[in-house]
Amino acid sequence: MAHEHKYDANGKQLCCTLEEKINAKTDKSSGCCSTQQDEHNHSDDDGHDHEHNADQSTFKMFLPAIISFVLLIIGIGFDNYFPQSWFTKYVRLAWYIAAYLPVGIPVLKEAFESITKGEVFSEFLLMCIATIGAFAIGEYPEGVAVMLFYTIGEVFQTLAVSRAKSNIKSLLDQRPDEVNIIRDNIVETVKASEVSIGSVIQLKSGEKLGLDGELLSDTASFNTAALTGESKPDTKVKGETVLAGMINGNTIAQVKVTTAYNDSKLSKILEMVQNATTQKAPTELFIRKFAKIYTPIVVFLAVAICLLPYFFVDNYDFNDWLYRALVFLVISCPCALVISIPLGYFGGIGAASKNGILFKGSNFLDSIANIQNVVMDKTGTMTEGVFKVQDVVISDEFKKEEILKMVNALESQSTHPVATAIHDHVGEIDSSIVLENVEEISGHGLKAEINGKELHVGNFKLMDKFGIKYDIDPNSIVYTLIAVAYDKKFAGYLTIADTIKEDAQLTVDKLKAMGVKTTMLSGDKTNVVQFVADKLGIVNAFGDLLPEDKVNKVNEIKAKNESVAFVGDGVNDAPVVALSTVGIAMGGLGSDATIETADVVIQDDRPSKIPMAINIGKQTRKIVWQNIILAFAVKAIVLILGAGGLATMWEAVFADVGVALLAILNAVRIQKMKF
């Protein structure tokens, strides 16, 4: 059956390319990107037959080049410095063929396979024509050198891509391959991928959870730093959800599996990043399309350089013009562009992943670099999303401590976040307080009897409903108010507020320094939103918004032809996240909708990662364009010199492999940058 090329949605060829070969090697050697291994499996219907040892060492990768290099150096020595009478004619040819084969055979094989699959004008073919042609005109050392340096360049490309992939893998390799499950009261060790939903996992102290589940133990403390960046242990209680990658604390815990291995939150994140490079940036797509047109044109130009002078030059020498054509071919090989540019984007994705920022594709690195507006949600994005008591104002007529104990006892009947905030503030519930006739009044609050007297705790609508008079204006106070009345008298109030995140101010300052405009949109009360915005220095802030209102606000900005990044939780804000130029979700492990809707996921909920993501996008774009300009400039100069006979095969090697190596070194630079 004839081979059919594979293409992505943007028309980019996925098979029979140098990029595919590099990716296949790194996938095999690092064990990374397993989701794509079937696609690159070298024994599949694709017809590929490269065999790469899974534990291939760097030395083994360089071994063919080392053998070739040693033979080449000895040969050049015999030619120029230590002449040997026997080193002539067929012996000399055989020596250089022996030097050529270790590095030449794999490329010749690639070229042959590409041709049989219809991909005639590949990087492999250019190298083969140039090197075989060099042998044909007796330039044996140059022929070996071209293939040798091409192979060395390919090894460095493989190592660079492998390094970028390992950065991502090290971030996401947070899940054990095996887990201990309880079966018939016996603990068994099984592969995590084989555990079924409903199984019970037993976690020892310090062990890492392999699958998402529900905690069966009464309480357990988990280290979630690997997933969320939060260093403080997270205490879970019976019935709460725990995620793959969390590390158990000091006690043995039991967890009932609720999600299959491949469907866990961590698996979704892992798959998202592994597939990130399939979403190509416009620059990558352009270079790939350019190379597809450029390579055959160069081949025909090389033929023209070789043959056309016959009709115009008096002392035409076929070997001389063939040599020029071969030089032209080597120079024209687009390796520097085809590999270094995807590597630049992959490096950007790797650098972002290293910092807990997950990009769904390199196209979003490009998009975020051009962002003019960052529109953010308030709760959970710029604030902690955890309510805390700010002030307690109790009338002198009442004993503050007694009132708070009664309020705490009554609020223990509620699961509302406000009740949690009050409990955290007051402390343990006083068991001596007896509640009678407890009643929850929807939209108002709670009511109960204590010592035969009524206690009312809720909003000021509750006070109005029961005709309890109060002497304050609730609208004059920014925070959420909890009014308290005892024995039909207004006793006072508590103010509850969400805490602004520590790095929220730094985030806004950095965005302003970048020239990015900030806007806050929230469904919270307008005066609360405005208060937070004023504190952070955000000029545009709007509250009391429904999801559709947020969509309208973002559309207003986009109507000015300005790009918008929306930052939210990715669940309630899904419509506006989808609408924005770049959708950024905080806390990707919290919800499936976040992973599915957003273009960028910030793992640790820190808003300071927003300007960091923009900066990574800008640095990636800068490096990519540096490589494009470098490759085109050097190639253009040496191409002209080669066509004019002023450049030898050695200059051609630099223009091809040398520029490729420089571009690769430049591309991997981003992985070492501090953001």
- Rounded to an integer, what distance in angstroms lies between the CA atom of residue 615 and that of residue 457? 48
DSSP 611-650: HHHHHHHHHHHHHHHHHHHHHHHHHHHHHHHHHTT---HH
**214: CATH:** 2.70.150.10
Residues 184 and 162 in one domain: no
- Rounded to an integer, what distance in angstroms lies between the CA atom of residue 649 and that of residue 651? 5
Residues 398 and 493 in one domain: yes
pLDDT digits (tens, 9 = 90+) for 592-628: 555 567 788 887 778 999 999 999 999 999 998 998 8
- Rounded to an integer, what distance in angstroms lies between the CA atom of residue 355 and that of residue 602? 9
How much is the pLDDT for 251?
A: 82
Q: How far is CA 520 from the centre of its chain?
A: 25
φ, ψ of residue 181 to 5 degrees: the values are: -115, 155
Q: Which structure tokens are listed for 288?
A: 């790939």
- Rounded to an integer, what distance in angstroms lies between the CA atom of residue 289 and that of residue 630? 19
How much is the pLDDT for 363?
A: 86
Residue 232 lies in a domain: yes
What mean pLDDT value characterizes the chain?
A: 81
Q: Is 377 a catalytic site residue? A: yes
- Rounded to an integer, what distance in angstroms lies between the CA atom of residue 644 and that of residue 634? 16
pLDDT digits (tens, 9 = 90+) for 532-562: 999 999 989 998 787 788 889 999 999 999 9
The residue annotated as part of the active site, out of 27, 377, 573, 605, is 377
Residue 157 lies in a domain: yes
Q: How many of the other CB atoms lie within 10 Å of CB of 21?
A: 24
**418: CATH:** 3.40.1110.10
Residues 125 and 197 in one domain: no
Residue that terminates a domain, selected from 172, 200, 234: 172
Residues 182 and 165 in one domain: no
Residues 120 and 222 in one domain: no
Residues 456 and 397 in one domain: yes
Percent of the chain residues topping a pLDDT of 70: 81
Which among 300, 313, 332 is positioned nearest to 641, based on CA atoms?
Answer: 332
Q: Which residue range forms the structural domain that includes residue 196?
A: 178-263
- Confidence class for position 37, pLDDT limits 50, 70, 90: very low
Residues 464 and 481 in one domain: yes
Handedness of CA 294, 628, 620, 618 (dihedral sign): negative
Rg of the chain's alpha carbons, rounded to an integer? Answer: 33
Residue 295 lies in a domain: no
pLDDT digits (tens, 9 = 90+) for 133-143: 889 888 899 88
Mean pLDDT of 18-46: 45
Which among 375, 362, 357 is positioned nearest to 577, based on CA atoms?
Answer: 375
Q: How far is CA 566 from the centre of its chain?
A: 17
Residues 392 and 493 in one domain: yes
HSE, side-chain direction, 13 A CA sphere, residue 281: 26
pLDDT digits (tens, 9 = 90+) for 358-417: 888 788 999 999 999 999 988 778 988 778 898 999 999 999 999 999 999 999 888 677
Task: Report in angstroms the alpha-carbon separations of 485 from 406, 420, 425, 429, 475.
Answer: 11, 20, 19, 19, 19
Residues 81 and 156 in one domain: yes
How much is the pLDDT for 26?
A: 56
Residue 606 lies in a domain: no
Q: Which residues contact 96 (CB under 8 A, 6 or more apart)?
A: 71, 72, 75, 135, 140, 141, 143, 144
> Could you give the 3-state DSSP secondary structure of residue 222?
strand
How much is the pLDDT for 268?
A: 65
Residue 220 lies in a domain: yes
Residue 21 lies in a domain: no
Is pLDDT at 12 greater than 50 in this prediction? no
Residues 492 and 404 in one domain: yes
Q: Are the C-beta atoms of residues 87 and 99 closer than 8 Å to each other?
A: no
Residue 239 lies in a domain: yes
φ, ψ of residue 57 to 5 degrees: the values are: -85, 165
Residue that terminates a domain, selected from 237, 263, 289: 263
How much is the pLDDT for 72?
A: 93
Which residues partner with 393 through β-bridges? 493
Q: Measured in Å, how far apart are the chain's first and last C-alpha atoms?
A: 51
How much is the pLDDT for 228?
A: 53
- Rounded to an integer, what distance in angstroms lies between the CA atom of residue 344 and that of residue 660? 12
pLDDT digits (tens, 9 = 90+) for 208-225: 888 889 999 988 888 776
Residue 581 lies in a domain: no
Q: Are the C-beta atoms of residues 623 and 669 closer than 8 Å to each other?
A: yes
- Helices 140-172 and 58-80, axial angle in degrees (round to 10): 160
Residue that terminates a domain, selected from 263, 293, 314: 263
Residues 164 and 203 in one domain: no
Handedness of CA 651, 656, 662, 666 (dihedral sign): positive
- What is the total count of domains within the chain? 3
Residues 202 and 132 in one domain: no
- Rounded to an integer, what distance in angstroms lies between the CA atom of residue 126 and that of residue 301? 13
Percent of the chain residues topping a pLDDT of 90: 30
- Rounded to an integer, what distance in angstroms lies between the CA atom of residue 659 and that of residue 337? 9
- Rounded to an integer, what distance in angstroms lies between the CA atom of residue 120 and that of residue 116? 8
pLDDT digits (tens, 9 = 90+) for 14-31: 555 555 655 565 555 544
Q: Which residue has the higher pLDDT, 48 or 134?
A: 134
HSE, side-chain direction, 13 A CA sphere, residue 77: 7
